[in-house]
A and B are shown apart, each in its own frame.
Chain A
Amino acid sequence: MKKTFRMMDLDCANCAAKMERAIQNIDGVTSATVSFMTQKLTLEADDARFDQIVKEAVKACKKVEPDCEIVVK
């Protein structure tokens, strides 16, 4: 499954790169890109564990930049 999430208050480009790397390392993630310009996360991961992976991704981002919020709809 592939899904795009909006990211609020993503203020630092290097953080975006760090988040991208952190999310890519989560087990079950096929591909992940964090775009600083469009403030979006594009995540492709296992269908079965998708929600779990999203939770882990949110956690990983919080670790890099606690002020940044991933909008999970």
Chain B
Amino acid sequence: MTKKQKKTLRRILGSVVLFAVVWAVTALASLPPWGEFLLYLLPYALIGWDILWKAVRNILNGQVFDENFLMALATVGAFGCGEYREGVAVMLFYQVGELFQSVAVSRSRASIAQLMDIRPDSANVERDGQVVTVDPEEVTVDEIIVIRAGERVPLDGTVVEGASSLDTAALTGESMPRDVAAGDEVVSGCVNLSGLLRVKVSRPFGESTVAKILDLVENSAAKKAKAEHFITKFARYYTPTVVLCAVALAVLPPLLGLGAWRTWVLRALNFLVVSCPCALVISIPLSFFGGIGGASRQGILVKGGNYLEALAKAGTVVFDKTGTLTQGRFAVTEVSPVGMDREELLELAAQAEQFSNHPIARSILTAWGGIPNRDRVAQVEELAGRGLRVQVDGRMVLAGNERLLTENGMVLPEQPEAPGTVIHLAVEGRYAGRLVISDQLKPGAREAIQALKAAGVGRTVMLTGDSEAAGQAAARELGLDQVYAQLLPGDKVDRVEALLAEKTPGHTLVYVGDGINDAPVLSRADVGVAMGAMGSDAAIEAADVVLMDDDLRKLSRAVAIARKTMTIVKENTVFAIGVKLAVLALSAAGLVGLWWAVFADVGVSVIAILNSSRMLKAH
């Protein structure tokens, strides 16, 4: 509790005691009405002076529907009707509720601050042969910082000396430590677990990963969800409407001769107490804030409540293939020799391709595993868009696509369509077989897609620049519904446009990419998700939701968090509005007193806040 809250608590306790004493005195001694009035005025003044003061001040500022004013009016009204006890009690409960609310809100704020506690306090920088401890903001690019075991990495950089393992959990939610050694990049916000590291700083603190993440999460509250706008709009009309109803209720029935003035005025006072929309106005943003905070704890950064809302309604999920569903690492997945054995074909291909730096050539060399001999190869000739013509051990070898071989007068045997890039080989004009090189699927990709389907995502689509066969093969293995293959980068935007037009109303389209080449698509989708973004600025900028590491399963977790947030938002909205309307109806009928009205105001707020704070504890 803060100082201010403790002070309020003491004031409440003091008022309770005073109230009890006054109650006892008035019950034992028979006092004249004005004596009772004066006695009850004491606890009332003690507990309510600040509300009365604010009410006067705010009304002078033209704030008619101010909650302090309404509460003051209600309690003064109760006193005026001779209901001294109710007057004091309502003010007392109102203050208790406000205190409770204030404590609950500061707790939520604190626990979110704790979630985001990745800001490094200091950096140890080497200057003039000495290690000095400074604020991370004072370190400049290319300076050398020292990170000891147990310390947080303060700035992004490259390890120049030392080896250690890093705990990335604060950034990615992943508990598996990451090993780093000289030459590796380290990202700020991680914790150095074991060894001493010397790191050359690559970016100033303001541009570091940690600063970006904190900035993003802190500013996420500025992008409000539709539900939040609805609530503020509702609040705007709710209070004046209820207050007008109160006036009508106090005046009309007695004028029509339906009862005494006092009865109806007391009922109208109930309306004034219920008219504050605080329960809603606090709990809805709190739920979104909690959802965003909880997600960031798991390495899922959501840039605003509006995206959380859209993510909860995900109906179509579109994936980019390379780097998202696959690792972007090529490997030889098929070796089909003709007239020679497997090893021979691999060796031949490896020797032929040894001078190329293309990832496909590299994967062939990796698959072969031997060390190529440059003396065995001569007359290397690259044929653009086709492949290579090269002499290996004096024999003429062709290595490349179908076109290369047919153009050289060869007829290829009937073969099944390959799920990847195909390298055909021919020796001295005779077909020697083929290699198929494909991208490796990401571990967990299949489970991730199943989890999305289980969560009710109706349509999963893959976009790829690869061949139809490669695309289909990957889609089958992953259990995707649809593939669009052989797309150029520009085609992806058109595809997503078309898919957006096809989606069912009420659902959203989520696009998942690596965030490097697909910024236009990311911004076109309802929700753009970038993966593996740790250290990639472009991805963090372009996307609406950022998955800090490579794990696709985080996507379904993000959808689950979004859905849970929306459930709580709906629960709170229905509960708060429902209770308020019920109490208004019962008050009008004279069935409930001021006590219930106070419950409908602060009691409901507190319950709604507690419900929202589940978002923070769920993980």
Interface positions of A (Cβ within 8 A of B): 4, 11-14, 16-18, 20-21, 33, 35-40, 42, 63-64, 66
Contacts and interface: CB of A to CB of B under 8 A. Distances in A.
B62 A20 contact: no
Given A33-B222, A63-B63, A17 B289 contact: no
B221 A40 contact: yes
Contacts of A14: 67, 235, 276-278, 281
Interface in B265-314: 276-278, 281-282, 285-286, 289
Interface residues of B, number: 28
B354 interface: no
B202 to A, nearest CB: 27
24 contacts: A4-B222, A12-B278, A14-B278, A16-B281, A17-B236, A17-B281, A20-B232, A33-B222, A35-B285, A36-B105, A36-B281, A36-B285, A37-B105, A37-B108, A37-B109, A37-B112, A38-B221, A40-B218, A40-B221, A63-B61, A63-B62, A64-B58, A64-B61, A66-B57
A38 B102 contact: no
B593 to A, nearest CB: 25
Contacts of B236: 17, 21
A39 B105 CA distance: 11
Contacts of A13: 278, 281-282, 285
Closest 5 pairs (CB-CB, A-B): A35-B221, A13-B282, A13-B281, A42-B222, A37-B289
Contacts of A64: 58, 61, 63
B557 interface: no
B224 interface: yes
B4 to A, nearest CB: 8
B219 interface: yes
B104 to A, nearest CB: 12
Contacts of B278: 12-14
A16 B109 CA distance: 16
Interface of B: 57-58, 61-63, 67, 102, 105, 108-109, 112, 218-219, 221-224, 232, 235-236, 276-278, 281-282, 285-286, 289
Nearest to B276: A14
Contacts of B222: 4, 33, 35, 40, 42
A68 to B, nearest CB: 12
A40 B217 CA distance: 13
Contacts of A63: 61-63
A44 B429 CA distance: 70
B218 A17 contact: no
Most buried by A among B108, B232, B236, B277: B232
Chain A interface helix/strand/loop/mixed: mixed
A20 B236 CA distance: 12
A13 B231 CA distance: 11
Nearest to A11: B102
Given A12-B67, A42-B219, 6 more contacts: A14-B278, A17-B236, A17-B281, A36-B105, A42-B222, A66-B57
Contacts of A20: 232
Contacts of B281: 13-14, 16-17, 36
B219 A4 contact: yes
Contacts of B57: 66
Given A11-B102, A17-B235, A33-B224, A38 B218 contact: yes
A20 B285 CA distance: 14
A12 B236 CA distance: 15
A13 B101 CA distance: 10
A3 B276 CA distance: 31
A16 B284 CA distance: 13
Contacts of A35: 221-222, 285
B234 to A, nearest CB: 10
A37 to B, nearest CB: 4
Most buried by A among B218, B219, B223, B278: B219
Contacts of B277: 14
Contacts of B105: 36-37
A14 B58 CA distance: 14
Contacts of B235: 14, 17
Contacts of A12: 67, 278
A38 B63 contact: no
A51 to B, nearest CB: 21
A53 B294 CA distance: 35
Contacts of B276: 14
A56 to B, nearest CB: 15
B544 to A, nearest CB: 17
A21 B231 CA distance: 13
Contacts of B232: 17, 20-21
A15 to B, nearest CB: 8
A43 B573 CA distance: 28
Contacts of A4: 219, 222
A38 B277 CA distance: 20
A17 B230 CA distance: 12
Contacts of B286: 37
B288 to A, nearest CB: 8
A42 B223 CA distance: 10
Nearest to B113: A38
A13 to B, nearest CB: 4
Contacts of B58: 64, 66
A39 B493 CA distance: 38
A67 to B, nearest CB: 8
A25 B29 CA distance: 58
Contacts of A38: 218, 221, 289
B308 to A, nearest CB: 14
A37 B236 CA distance: 19
Nearest to B218: A38
Nearest to A31: B222
A54 B57 CA distance: 23
B232 to A, nearest CB: 4
Most buried by B among A4, A16, A38: A38
Nearest to A9: B4
A6 to B, nearest CB: 10
B63 A37 contact: no
Contacts of A66: 57-58, 61
A29 to B, nearest CB: 14
